[in-house]
Amino acid sequence: MQKIKSPNTSLSCRRKMTTQDLIQEILQKNPLITQEQILEKLQAERARTGGLLGDETLLRLIAAKFGVQVQQNTIHNSGILSTNRLFAGLYDVTVAGRLIAVFPAKTFQGAEKSGKFATLMLADNEGILRVVLWNEKAELVEKGELKAGQAVRLVHGYTREDRYGKTELHLGTKSQIEHEPETKAIEYPSIEKFATKINTLSIMSGNVNLTGDIKKVLGESSFIRSDSSVGTVTRLTLADDSGEVTVVFWNEKATELENTLKANARLLLVNARVKEGQNGGIEVHVDQNTFIDIQAVQMKYTKIASLAEDQIVNFEGVVTSLRESKEVTTSKGETIKLAVFDLKDDGGTVRVSAWREHAEAFKDLKIGDKVVLENVYVKKGFGGKIELTTRTATVASVVKL
């Protein structure tokens, strides 16, 4: 076994137990069980837990169900380890980093044992580590005490190998979770450091992390499952600075996010899976094992110098003058309210005409107030000068400075 060299690390170890070692120990301690039975139960447990737990952990649960106490690895560690130096079989492990994904807690029910667990994704400057919280530690997720973006130190954990051969950290009764100060958080990277560029995706990419902007939501559709129940799928186009890819959201993820998946929003995906699409191209699939973070659409404001006739723009400026507030009669005989005022930005001043409910919203407007207008129309007014005028779709607000 490779020896870990680190000035902050002290290790003593023997050969760690493999999954085959665990199977053999179960067979030796309970001769009434066959290897076929163990493998059948292992496959059933994999399906029940959705691939969230590694084979080593599942085999230890299976051993307990058969009344077999298997040997624990005797590899111990003290000190802080970076994520890329961990290997399965370590005990008393301490790591620190930023939480980049926090998945909801789940319960499990077995013949001999039941409880709950939750999973996290922790990033330090070396890599990303999957963390499994058991029972009362999982309750911290339920209570909302652990959230993506927090910097934490995980103390007295132990490492296992997941079903794909990757090392993961487990936190049990004796483990501790400590919150790092905000000043420490800046030392740890964001998920962007570990994101895969879209133009490098291939069928062989497997599970990936992606960040990008939603270019277009392609729509939601339904399908019939093999058990005759109805499922839901939503597709969108995600773009980064290298290219575009179709992202597919399945079932509860599609339903959960139907009101937040909007064009131009920033999307973060942790543990999404690359698959071949229906047309033979590449798609990225999102399911219950994917962590999703959607950042609100960043409003882009047009400057006065860039305003052109017949545009629909977003604009923000400071009130420099209040021209008039009155009621006018339209050609159809309708009496409506009108408020006229001037706004300035760093490029000049523009006149604004606010109609109907927008005029009412500005009835208490004062010089020096900041006004934000979304979806406001640009036209030429008196003397051919550019003006802004509200319309039904305009969203207007006043920010007191």
What's the CATH number of domain 304-399, 1.10.10.2520, 3.40.190.10, 2.40.50.140, 1.10.357.10? 2.40.50.140
Instruction: Quickly list DSSP for 296-325.
Output: PPPP----GGG--TT-EEEEEEEEEEEEEE
On whether the CB atoms of residues 238 and 247 are closer than 8 A, the answer is yes
pLDDT of residue 12: 41
pLDDT of residue 297: 67
Q: Per DSSP, which regions of 135-206 are E strands? A: 151-161, 167-171, 176-179
C-alpha–C-alpha distance, residues 74 and 70, integer Å: 12
Written in H, E and C, the secondary structure of 206-236 is CEEEEEEEEEEEEEEEEEECCCCCEEEEEEE
195-292: CATH architecture: Beta Barrel (2.40)
C-alpha–C-alpha distance, residues 261 and 232, integer Å: 15
- 10-16+73-185 has CATH 2.40.50.140 classification: yes
pLDDT of residue 3: 30
On whether the CB atoms of residues 347 and 304 are closer than 8 A, the answer is yes
Rounded to whole angstroms, the maximal C-alpha distance in the chain is 98
Query: pLDDT tens per residue, the chain (401 residues)?
Result: 333 333 344 444 444 557 788 888 888 888 888 888 889 888 887 777 666 567 777 787 788 777 777 665 544 444 566 777 777 778 888 899 999 889 999 888 766 678 899 999 998 888 889 999 999 999 999 999 998 888 999 999 998 888 777 889 999 999 999 998 877 777 888 778 888 999 999 999 988 999 998 888 887 888 888 888 888 889 999 999 899 999 999 888 877 777 778 777 889 999 899 999 878 889 999 988 888 888 766 678 999 999 999 999 999 999 999 999 999 998 888 899 999 999 999 989 999 999 999 999 998 999 999 999 988 999 998 888 999 999 988 989 998 66
pLDDT of residue 272: 93
The letter for the amino acid at 271 is N
pLDDT of residue 79: 57
Written in H, E and C, the secondary structure of 12-60 is ECCCCCCHHHHHHHHHHHCCCCCHHHHHHHHHHHHHHHCCCCCHHHHHH
Q: Confirm whether 10-16+73-185 and 195-292 share one CATH topology.
A: yes
Q: Parse the chain into domains and list their residue ranges.
A: 10-16+73-185, 195-292, 304-399
C-alpha–C-alpha distance, residues 253 and 234, integer Å: 9
Strands 395-399 and 312-329: unpaired
pLDDT of residue 401: 61
Q: Quick check: helix, strand or coil at residue 137?
A: helix
pLDDT of residue 67: 78
pLDDT of residue 159: 87
Strands 282-286 and 243-250: parallel
How many residues in total does the chain contain? 401
Q: Quick check: helix, strand or coil at residue 144?
A: coil
pLDDT of residue 15: 45
Q: For the whole model, what pTM was predicted?
A: 0.56
